Structure formats: structure tokens, C-alpha cells
């Protein structure tokens, strides 16, 4: 095992250029319940940009970003029993403790002692990363490293949002905001696969063809009022039974206005830290359901990887860049020029 590795280290908060340099740092060592993973690919998530900019509180620097990790087991800790060197693995966004109230109740997505790679501990913008065994799943042979990177944070959250929280059914009208981004384009795909009529909203005219290819029946490019008007037209004035909001504050008002009576609004993805205004009387009288979606557990990640292998989910990988171009990947996030997910190849 080498003593040093290449990594992009966040030394100070700022614009994408703070990630311009690849430096040498020591290869981390796994504890008893941890695994040293040789990183093959790492997805670039909006959360990474929030951490990089210093918007998320409680971040300690220096830090290696990246939680959408796929690679190969290089070394296992003494207490690890489920993996061995050479296994291909993918990681969930967060590692759970296994012993708190929520973990014991088999609802580990709500673990109160959770740690996130690239947030609370070093992540995958590096040649090697140490991860808890509880955060890893084996990758099937038919799934590429790039596809595996987004099986957890992106696809797992979207799958839970569409199937568990949104309860999308055939015949539902489903609005997806931010439909050209990583969470958005997969929300379009999974909602369409469920038999829904999908109305996709985007601010990027250049992404319309890709959004339609993902399964959208209608794509609306325009202001809040234009989106609301078009949704009402397409739903005979009722609005959408389900809204999958992958943006947050910037589209939350649109989402509420487009929601039908008894509708379900699901917030998916890392949506920033800004508060969203909610009209409680409107929720009461219209019996609105509002949900947030946490990242998947390792067991749910295994389900997603199997669905990818079976061809039932098709990961939308937009651009693949080398690790040295992490700053370029973050600039694409900043300008919303990426379609699907941008992945760093390590």
C-alpha cells in the first residue's frame, strides 16, 4: 500500500477555483469496522458545492469532498466480515451508527449519530478513502463505476421520493422541478416508469431534448407564472397530484401553486439551507402532504444497484472528468450547464 495519494483538498471556502490543485496527502488507515477503498469514480453533488462555498455550518477544514463514491476494496479492518480485498463497492451518502433508537427501529435513514463522507470526514475526491462497512454495498458486474457513484445519493433518494413518499401511480400528473439536473432528470425517468404523466420544469432551454428523452411528456421553460399556468392547462385546472421538487427555495412557491388538492409534495436532494415559506391554512384545507427524503441505507442501495443491473433504472451520466478538473466540475454546477450527473474519474 502506498504511503501517499493524490487528492483535491478543500483548504479554504470559496468559488470553484479553490479546488484547482491536486496535492499529495497520506493514505488513510481503516479502523476495525472500516474499509479502505481505492476510488475509481466520485460523483459531483450539489451538496459538494454547498460545503465548498462555506454555506453549510459546522464544516471543519481541511477536508476532502465527495460522497458519491465507487471503487474497489483495498484493505479491511479487523472487524469487517462482509467484504474482502478486490470487491467492487459503492457508498451511501451517510454512515449510520447501528445502535441509536432509529437504527434499532429499522429506520436507520434517520440515525442521529450519522456521519457523511465529504462533510463530516474525508471523502472521495482522492485515490483512497476510508469508509465504515455499514455505508457500503457490493456493485454487480453489469454496473459501471460511473453508474455506481450515483446509485446512493441521487438514485436512492429519487427512488424513495417517487415510490415511498410520492407514491406515484399510473395516471398521476407529476411535476418535476429542476428537471435537467442530476436529481431532476432521474425523477423524470422514475416517474415516467411508474406510468405517470410527467410535466418537467426547467430554466435551461438547451436541456429540453434530454429531459424529453428521459420520459417527460411535456417540458415547460419559463417563469413561475408560466409554469403554473401550463400545469393547470395540462391537468384540467386541478394541478399535479405529485410534485417532485429537486431545487428547493427557488422553486418551492411554484411547487405549492402547482399542487392539486390532496397532493403530495416531495423535496429531493441537497436543497440548501434557506427556509421555505409554507401556508399552514392552505395545507389544512387542501390536505397537502409534504415530505423530505433522506439518502438510502446500504440495503436500499443494494436494491438500486440491482435495478440498474436489470436495466430498470438508467443512470444519466452527463460528463466525466479527471480528478484534476474538480474545479471545472463545480463550475458546471454553478452555471447549471450539466445535464445529468458529472462524475470525476480517479
Mean pLDDT of 136-164: 93
Sign, CA dihedral 55-48-154-219, equals positive
The answer to whether residues 34 and 137 belong to one domain is: yes
All 3 cell numbers of residue 154? 441521487
Percentage of residues in the chain having pLDDT higher than 90: 74
Given a cut of 90, whether residue 202 has pLDDT beyond it is yes
**DSSP H or E stretch at residue 68:** strand 68-76
Flag whether 219 is in a domain. yes
Q: How far is CA 185 from the centre of its chain?
A: 11
What pLDDT is recorded for position 105? 84
What pLDDT is recorded for position 181? 85
What pLDDT is recorded for position 211? 94
State the residue range of the domain holding 326.
Answer: 4-150+315-345
What pLDDT is recorded for position 89? 97
Task: For residue 257, give the DSSP letter.
Answer: H
Do 124 and 69 form a contact (C-beta atoms < 8 A)? yes
Higher pLDDT, 273 or 62: 62
Given a cut of 70, whether residue 326 has pLDDT beyond it is yes
Picking from 200, 300, 312, 212, the residue whose alpha carbon sits closest to that of residue 254 is 200
What pLDDT is recorded for position 272? 62
- Alpha-carbon distance of 103 to 206, in angstroms, equals 43
Flag whether 15 is in a domain. yes
Flag whether 141 is in a domain. yes
Flag whether 255 is in a domain. yes
Q: What is the pTM of this model?
A: 0.85
The answer to whether residues 204 and 334 belong to one domain is: no
The answer to whether residues 160 and 89 belong to one domain is: no
The answer to whether residues 163 and 43 belong to one domain is: no
Q: What is the CATH number of the domain that holds 36?
A: 3.90.180.10
Flag whether 306 is in a domain. no
The answer to whether residues 145 and 159 belong to one domain is: no
Higher pLDDT, 273 or 113: 113
The answer to whether residues 24 and 131 belong to one domain is: yes
Picking from 96, 123, 182, 116, the residue whose alpha carbon sits closest to that of residue 147 is 182
Flag whether 301 is in a domain. no
The answer to whether residues 132 and 236 belong to one domain is: no
Cell numbers 469532498 correspond to what residue? 65
SS3 291: strand
Given a cut of 70, whether residue 270 has pLDDT beyond it is no
The answer to whether residues 114 and 159 belong to one domain is: no
How many Å is the Cα radius of gyration of the chain? 20
The answer to whether residues 49 and 121 belong to one domain is: yes
The answer to whether residues 177 and 287 belong to one domain is: yes
pLDDT digits (tens, 9 = 90+) for 286-303: 999 999 988 888 888 999
Flag whether 297 is in a domain. no
The answer to whether residues 90 and 189 belong to one domain is: no
Count of alpha carbons within 13 angstroms of residue 149, beta-carbon side: 29
Picking from 35, 113, 38, 141, the residue whose alpha carbon sits closest to that of residue 81 is 35
Cell numbers 420520459 correspond to what residue? 215
What pLDDT is recorded for position 153? 85
pLDDT digits (tens, 9 = 90+) for 80-89: 999 999 999 9
Flag whether 304 is in a domain. no
Q: How many domains does the chain have?
A: 2
pLDDT digits (tens, 9 = 90+) for 214-269: 999 999 999 999 999 999 999 999 999 999 999 988 889 999 999 999 999 999 97
What pLDDT is recorded for position 271? 62
The answer to whether residues 98 and 209 belong to one domain is: no
Amino acid at each position: 500500500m502506498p504511503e501517499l495519494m493524490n487528492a483535491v483538498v478543500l483548504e479554504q471556502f470559496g468559488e470553484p477555483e479553490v479546488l484547482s490543485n491536486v496535492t499529495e496527502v497520506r493514505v488513510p488507515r481503516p479502523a476495525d469496522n472500516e474499509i479502505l477503498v481505492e476510488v475509481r469514480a466520485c460523483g459531483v453533488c450539489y451538496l459538494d458545492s454547498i460545503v465548498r462555498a462555506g454555506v453549510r455550518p459546522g464544516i471543519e477544514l481541511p477536508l476532502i469532498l465527495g460522497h458519491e463514491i465507487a471503487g474497489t476494496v483495498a484493505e479491511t479492518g479487523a472487524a469487517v466480515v462482509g467484504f474482502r480485498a478486490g470487491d467492487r463497492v459503492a457508498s451511501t451518502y451517510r454512515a449510520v451508527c447501528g445502535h441509536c433508537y432509529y437504527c434499532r427501529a429499522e429506520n436507520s435513514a434517520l440515525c442521529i449519530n450519522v456521519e457523511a463522507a465529504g462533510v463530516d470526514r474525508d471523502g472521495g475526491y482522492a485515490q483512497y478513502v476510508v469508509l465504515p462497512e455499514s455505508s457500503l454495498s457490493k456493485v454487480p458486474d453489469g454496473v459501471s463505476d460511473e453508474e455506481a457513484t450515483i446509485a446512493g445519493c441521487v438514485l436512492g433518494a429519487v427512488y424513495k421520493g417517487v415510490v415511498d413518499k410520492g407514491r406515484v401511480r399510473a395516471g398521476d400528473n407529476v411535476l418535476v422541478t429542476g428537471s435537467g439536473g442530476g436529481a431532476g432528470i432521474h425523477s423524470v425517468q422514475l416517474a415516467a416508469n411508474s406510468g405517470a404523466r410527467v410535466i418537467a420544469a426547467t430554466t435551461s432551454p438547451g436541456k429540453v431534448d434530454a429531459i424529453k428523452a428521459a420520459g417527460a411528456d411535456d417540458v415547460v421553460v419559463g417563469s413561475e407564472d408560466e409554469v403554473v399556468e401550463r400545469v393547470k392547462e395540462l391537468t384540467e385546472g386541478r394541478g399535479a397530484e405529485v410534485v417532485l421538487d429537486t431545487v428547493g427555495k427557488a422553486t418551492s412557491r411554484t411547487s405549492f401553486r402547482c399542487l392539486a388538492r390532496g397532493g403530495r409534495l416531495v423535496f429531493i436532494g441537497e436543497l440548501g439551507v434557506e427556509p421555505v415559506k409554507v401556508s399552514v391554512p392552505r395545507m389544512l384545507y387542501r390536505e397537502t402532504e409534504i415530505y423530505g427524503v433522506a439518502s438510502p441505507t446500504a440495503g436500499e442501495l443494494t436494491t438500486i444497484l440491482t435495478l440498474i443491473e436489470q436495466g430498470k433504472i438508467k443512470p444519466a451520466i452527463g460528463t466525466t472528468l479527471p480528478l484534476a478538473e474538480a474545479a471545472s466540475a463545480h463550475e458546471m454546477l454553478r452555471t447549471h450547464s450539466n445535464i445529468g450527473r458529472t462524475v470525476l474519474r480517479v
